[in-house]
Structure 1
């Protein structure tokens, strides 16, 4: 493999880099962009399905194996285990995607999800490992796959997107979570209808339902895995990590169907043209980059905002039984089928009222309003609504169930038309290419730490003083975290209409590094003379 690189070519190489990036940023929106959104979006559909299906599975496990409700410690363990795995996957895959490449890692996370989902569906009791313990192990593994999907899908979408549609594309990918959440309820209703007579005759037949419900999560993942394995490496990674200008230019031409006659011949495809101004990723460079306040404050702001959001989002999302009981969709004593049916229907109602509309309002407004305005609006409204629900919880429920449900649905709407979407989008835009996936993984992992804390705290505190007696205080705590999220949002820059290179301070940092390197080299030559 031949290499072409001289100091005299630096200006030319920088110009070629800018031209290649400009073609990506200003390309016409086409089929490739739609395909990228669909391939990434199916992954998020699967992620949400696998995460939230457990809401409907745990009541069935309690009925089948414990003659009622699942013990609190097992219920918590099964629900929180996926979040633990997701945290590990976000940090691990985030780092590996920067180190090994987006293409090389993309698809592996879906393979993990497929294997672990089948493992859950086929789990059983054994002498050394009980069914709940087996589910916990498998859900940690499925969580690792889900976690890997966050930085990979975010970064691949952002690096292929045009500047003026990048936010909408990333929001559309993330919005598929809403449909995944919704589908869990729909599939559960279909299965419960199909097995109704056998479940009423013998509740143990719910065993068929929960296994099929979990196993269904493999289907969309199987559809997407081939397309993920065949998606090309992002030109930004080729330019800034592999540092191969020739290959990046060819990839841009191939992806966007350009006439490639003006490029070098195919025989030169193995020529590696290095740009010496490109800073290389390393631990020392990572520390140097983020030791600057202008860069560190963005990492801290995106991480803390995601942490604050997920305390409330997952604290309620995986423990919504108190809401279902308010709208008369709680368990029916003596009727196991009706208990499971109500849980499924109630979940559909909650998702349709708040989550799905919130996601898609974000998709259609984010390029007009910008990320920061939407995030601020979402945190402010969520804080107000949690305060109202927390300080007047019993009064509102006693006065009007409809009002209570409306206020809760509004919190769901403003979390999704707000920080639940923007905390995913912004970290995929604001870091340099060599740390974009790592930075997103750190921010996303911070969110999952909030989710873990929320789930453990909610489980331990909600029944203090009686069944669900502490929920008003928990809602007040959630309001406090919304306020924290609002405050740290002011550390984050607006990303609307800016290129990824403008946002990351990447060009300035690279130029400074190159000048420092050149000065050292010239100094060394002078000493030799």
Structure 2
């Protein structure tokens, strides 16, 4: 394979051809390919949320089966935090690899990891050298790596295929599938508990069937999506900006948009000659440092990372501990009745997700192109801060006045997290970095979020019982309010991305705003 040698005139022509290819993607009619891309990416996030939050219902069952009550706090923490540790590794690792090796090469691998690790969890047992909780912790680290890989890959692939005026809605729709995954954990748990009700009441040990099937069910949606992920085409932007193959990019755009490709057939195509542009900046460690050493670029990376960190402190702090919070208001804990304890925990999760999470996600989908990302993120942080303050400072008064009011306010915090920063912190990092660092940047921002999740889970576990069982939870809610305020402050470092092309958002000194480095060209070529 040879490279086409360009002259000054050729470079100008190549710039124009690149602009035309990008304009076709940005201005395309919304069609079946865009819907398919959202569905393929969305199934992954459905699976991610299912696998992450099913453990919220599984740990109470493990406590009843193997410990005759509650799971020891260190084991509960280890099982819950292990997936977040794996997710952190996956987000950073897959983010980097997707920029180095390609989106297509990495897409699907993360789902295979999730499938294998999910089966491993469901089939785990006690052994002479490895206990069941230890085995679950190992498998959940592995499943977390797969889940982590899904974040930068799905975000960037959706972003790079999307049209400019629907990019936010498409990315929000992909992420909104988390809400359905979260909801499905409760629904599947209720179905399984109903099916095994008689045997569970007769012998609590029969909950062992329930948690294994509940976990194992997470394999099914991932199996459906694997084939489609492995066969999705490489994004034209990656081909243009990293592979630097203009001919291939033009052909891929034509295939995606179902254009007549006759005008693209040439002698160069027949000979598979790569037409590359010498003005394209190459990704490297030194270039990465140079790009992010500029404050206007670094502040975006810092802002997106810190906002995600602040959000996940609260989001995972309460999301993986719903059962504890509901038990403190006597909603999920029924003394002496093991079946109804786990039943109420599942029903409580369904109620909270239906009231808060699912409506919040889809409110973002339907409003993001009108309101913009930053307004939604600010609104979400402000309202979450107010609600956490109300729940924290008025904890005892509210729960003693009305359990229904407490559950409503608790669900409302999840609504404004999802109609707010939980969606926008995922969307914005997939838009604001240049192609050669888009996946890496998203992975760094997402990994920062998981650091927040890890800190929240460790902190929640260590602090919740200070002063008595679950006595410190009101103070934890106040701490979550503080992090919502921090998230609000750093949001002002992030640019609004609504209505702008990915090239306009890359924030580079380039030729015609199209992602070319002026310093990539000699003075004579300029």
Q: Matches of residues 34-45 of structure 1 in structure 2 within 5 Å?
A: 34-45=35-46
Secondary structure of the 1:272 match is: coil
How far did 1:513 drift? 7.4
1:254-403 equivalences under 5 Å are: 254-265=255-266, 267-268=269-270, 270-325=272-327, 328-403=330-405
Aligned counterparts of 1:382 and 1:269: Cα–Cα separation in 2: 59
- Look up the match of 1:140: 141
Q: Which residue in the other structure is 1:487 paired with? A: 489
Correspondence for 1:204? 205
Distance across 2 between alignment mates of 1:10 and 1:335:
75
* 1:335-357 CA-partner distances (Å, limit 9, x unpaired): 22111111111110111110000
Match of 1:516 in 2: 519
User: Cα offset for 1:5?
Assistant: 2.4
Alpha-carbon distance change, 400 to 332 in structure 1, aligned in 2, over 3 angstroms: closer
Which secondary structure does the structure 2 equivalent of 1:280 belong to?
Answer: coil
Distance 1:512 1:145, change over 3 A: closer
3-state secondary structure, aligned to 1:402: helix
**Aligned equivalent of 1:526:** none
1:503 to 502, 505, 519: 505
What is the Cα deviation at residue 469 of structure 1?
1.2
Measure, in 2, the Cα distance between the counterparts of 1:194 and 1:401.
29
State the 1:328 CA deviation.
Answer: 4.1
**2:259 alignment partner, SS class:** coil
Query: Residues 276 and 514 of structure 1 are in contact (CA less than 8 Å); yes or no, is this contact kept in structure 2?
Result: no
Change in Cα spacing, 1:21 to 1:513, as seen in structure 2 (3 Å) is closer
Q: How far apart, in 1, do the equivalents of 2:34 and 2:332 lie?
A: 43
Which segment is superposed worse, 196-205 or 43-52? 196-205
* Counterpart residue number, 1:525: none
Partner of 1:16: 17
Q: Shift of the alpha carbon at 1:402?
A: 2.4
Post-superposition shift, 1:210? 0.6
Query: Structure 1 198/207 Cα, relative in aligned 2: closer, same or farther at 3 Å?
Result: same
* Paired residues for 1:103-122 under 5 Å: 103-122=104-123
Which digits, 9 at most, give the CA deviation of each residue in 1:77-132, with x for residues without a partner? 00000000000000000000000000000000000000000000000011110000
List per-residue Cα deviations over 1:349-390 (Å, max 9, x = no partner). 111110000000000000000000000000011111111111
Identify the residue that residue 149 of structure 1 maps to in structure 2: 150
Superposed CA deviations along residues 405-458 of structure 1, whole A, max 9, x for unmatched, are: 222111111000000000000000000000000000000000000000000001
State the partner residue of 1:470. 472
C-alpha distance in 1 between matches for 2:299 and 2:105: 30
2:53 — aligned with what?
52
Task: Classify the secondary structure of the residue corresponding to 1:262.
Answer: helix
Is the partner of 2:367 in helix, strand or coil?
helix
**Structure 1 residue 203: Cα displacement:** 1.2
Partner SS state of residue 82, structure 2: helix
Equivalence map 1:207-218=2 (5 Å): 207-218=208-219
**Alpha-carbon distance in structure 1 between the residues aligned to 2:455 and 2:427:** 23
Of residues 220-229 and 400-409 in structure 1, the stretch that sits farther from structure 2 once superposed is 400-409
- Distance in 2, Cα, partners of 1:20 & 1:272: 16
CA–CA separation in structure 2 for the residues paired with 1:65 and 1:300: 44
Moved more, 167-176 or 261-270: 261-270
User: What secondary structure, in the 3-state scheme, does the structure 2 residue paired with 1:273 have?
Assistant: coil
Instruction: Give the Cα–Cα distance (whole angstroms) in 1 for the partners of residues 110 and 58 of structure 2.
Output: 23
Residue 520 (structure 1) shift: 7.8
TM-score after normalising by structure 1: 0.96
Give the conservation status (yes or no) of the 8 Å contact 1:501–1:507: no
Contact 2:14 2:277 in 1 (8 A): yes
Q: Determine if contact 2:279/2:521 at 8 Å carries over to the other structure.
A: no
Change over 3 Å in CA distance of 1:147–1:65 after alignment to 2 = same
Equivalent residue number for residue 98 of structure 1: 99
Asked if the contact 1:246–1:269 (Cα under 8 Å) also holds between the matched residues in 2, the reply is no
Q: Give distance in 2, aligned partners of 1:140 and 1:234.
A: 30
Give the match for residue 181 of structure 1.
Answer: 182
Say which SS state the counterpart of residue 304 (structure 1) adopts.
helix
When the two structures are aligned, how many residues end up with a matched partner? 523
Q: Is the 1:106–1:228 contact (alpha carbons within 8 Å) kept by the matching residues of 2?
A: yes
Deviations 1:142-187 (A, max 9, x none): 0000000000000000000000000000000000000000000110
Listed as ranges, the gaps of 5+ residues in structure 1 are 523-529
Does 2:8 correspond to 1:5?
A: no
> Which residue is equivalent to 1:63?
64
Q: In the alignment, which residue of structure 2 is the partner of 1:26?
A: 27
- Whether the 8 Å CA contact 1:432–1:500 is kept in 2: the answer is yes
Q: How far is the alpha carbon of 1:400 from its aligned partner?
A: 2.2
Question: Does the aligned pair in 1 maintain the 2:64–2:71 contact within 8 Å?
Answer: yes
For residues 271 and 380 of structure 2, the distance between their equivalents in structure 1, rounded to whole angstroms, comes to 48
Checking the alignment, whether the CA contact within 8 Å between 2:369 and 2:498 is kept in structure 1 is yes
SS in 1 for 2:265: coil
Deviations 1:453-492 (A, max 9, x none): 0000011011111111111111111111111100000000
Q: Which is further off, 360-369 or 315-324?
A: 315-324
- Whole-Å Cα distance in 2 between the matches of residues 521 and 203 of structure 1? 80
